[in-house]
Structure 1
Amino acid sequence: MAFRTEIKNIRLEKKFTLRQVALQSGIDAGYLSQLENGKRNIPKPATLEKLAKGLRISKEEIFKLAGLETPKPSNIEYIGSNFVNIPVIGEIACGEPIIAEENISDYVPIPSDVVENGTFFILNCIGDSMEPTISNGSQVVVREQPDAENGQIAAVLLEDENTATLKRIKKTKTNVILMPDNPSYDPIVLNEDRPGRILGIVKMEMKRF
């Protein structure tokens, strides 16, 4: 099967649009469209590596599809057939999609069965407001979605600060309250004076030693 057909099939299987792959890879969407339509030759290795990130597959797989020898991967970037690369969000740029390239600081391999059915990202946890449930310094895998149920732990963007916080969701008739698990911290009430939006729900915590 031709390289262009292979990468298009992967994109469609993962339910990514060309724009999503472009944002995740840093490659122009027009170029990606031409690549899928056979109007571009197989990209150079550096572009293949970016495309692998955009499609969330390993470098080994993308180079194999391109018929090239796989470069020796680093220990953090290598993923096997049962793992996928998930972006770590370092900062949140105002107005940008959460997994826009501008926001991504790294990628971490995660078991593929953990991240089925959705778009996922990783946040570094700073602070102890969710202890003992989530430890300071750990990482959490978040499934991107615009809402959460009562009691779920969600990543919430505080729009007046352009920062994300992890809190347990409590909904009332008039407000959404962000509840810390650590009783030493006060809840945060989202309203006109303190706007915010849910980015996704926490699916897994990863301890870092």
Structure 2
Amino acid sequence: MSQLTARQLDILSLIHHWMRTEGRPPTRSEIAAAFGFKSPNSAEQHLKALERKGALTLSPGRSRGIQLDEQALLSLQMESPPPVSPLNLPVIGRVAAGMPILAQEHIDMFYQVDPHLFRPAANYLLRVQGQSMRDAGILSHDLLAVHQTHRVNQGQIVVVRIEEEVTVKRFHGINDNHLHLSPDNPEFDPMVLDLSRQQVVIEGVVVGVIRNYTETS
């Protein structure tokens, strides 16, 4: 394996971290978001450079088709502690209908965080509007760390896209094709969504909160 640059080592460390914590490698979009690249194509170019140096193998046509070379994997496992670069998580503001939540148009800025701060790993930060989750310690203007997944458990706080809106609520399951959500504030009503009539997507689960006290005071 050829000698790697510091950035290439950081990318390998990120891939290794994902494989240990998520059981799968990141996509090009997730790598781009972590390092603040302008597009997934930039991540692809870095991956191809790593492949040319023998550090990994790419599987064409597969978004997560990344396999670390045994020598690269061994060197990463032997590092104690491994070098850790801060993640550049995208901060999501308003979300347009019909577009992926991590579309470039939705990203207001990037925010650097320690990659070990949230478990499971956060994929993006969502800016909170409103007080419906006040009693869960989530206030307006907070940044919610969100782990992107469609699989959530009873009682978890989730990010849900409903038609053209994105809301944060507590998940209470799906019964008779109806999704049940509740606020953590008695001033707001629970939500029951008819999945046969409304376009509803669970975008992720909340894994942490970042607060700027100058905005909430």
Q: Same fold (TM over 0.5)?
A: yes
Q: CA distance change for structure 1 residues 32 and 185 in 2, over 3 Å: closer, same or farther?
A: closer
Contact 1:140 1:204 in 2 (8 A): yes
- Partner-residue secondary structure (3-state), 1:132: helix
**Post-superposition CA distance 1:137-183 (Å, at most 9, x none):** 2221111110211111101111x22x211100111422211101111
Match of 1:171 among 164, 170, 173: 173
Structure-1 residue corresponding to 2:28: 18
| CA offset digits 1:34-90 (Å, max 9, x no partner) | 55445xxxxxxxxxxxxxxxxxxxxxxxxxxxxxxxxxxxxxxxxx94632211112
> How do residues 193-208 of structure 1 correspond to structure 2 at under 5 angstroms?
193-208=197-212
The change in CA–CA distance for 1:115 and 1:99 in structure 2 (over 3 A counts) is: farther
Q: Counterpart in 2 of 1:120?
A: 123
Any gaps of 5 or more consecutive residues in structure 2?
19-24, 50-82
TM-score w.r.t. structure 2 length? 0.64
The residue type paired with residue 173 of structure 2 is K
Q: Which runs of 5+ in 1 are unaligned?
A: 39-79
In 1, the alpha carbon distance for the partners of 2:112 and 2:199 equals 33
Q: How large is the Cα RMSD of the aligned pairs? A: 2.9
Conserved 8 A contact 1:119-1:143? yes
Q: Secondary structure at the match of 1:114?
A: coil
Seen in structure 2, the aligned counterparts of structure 1 residues 172 and 186 have a Cα distance that, compared at 3 Å, is same
Q: TM-score, normalised by structure 1?
A: 0.66
Aligned residues: 166
Amino acid paired to 2:169: K
Q: Give the equivalent residue in structure 2 for 1:130.
A: 133
Percentage of identical aligned residues: 25
Q: Distance in 1 between matches of 2:43 and 2:155?
A: 41
Cα–Cα, structure 1 residues 27 and 129, in superposed 2: closer, same or farther, change >3 Å? closer
Quick check: 2:93–2:107 contact (8 Å CA) kept in 1?
yes
In 2, distance between residues paired with 1:83 and 1:138? Answer: 20
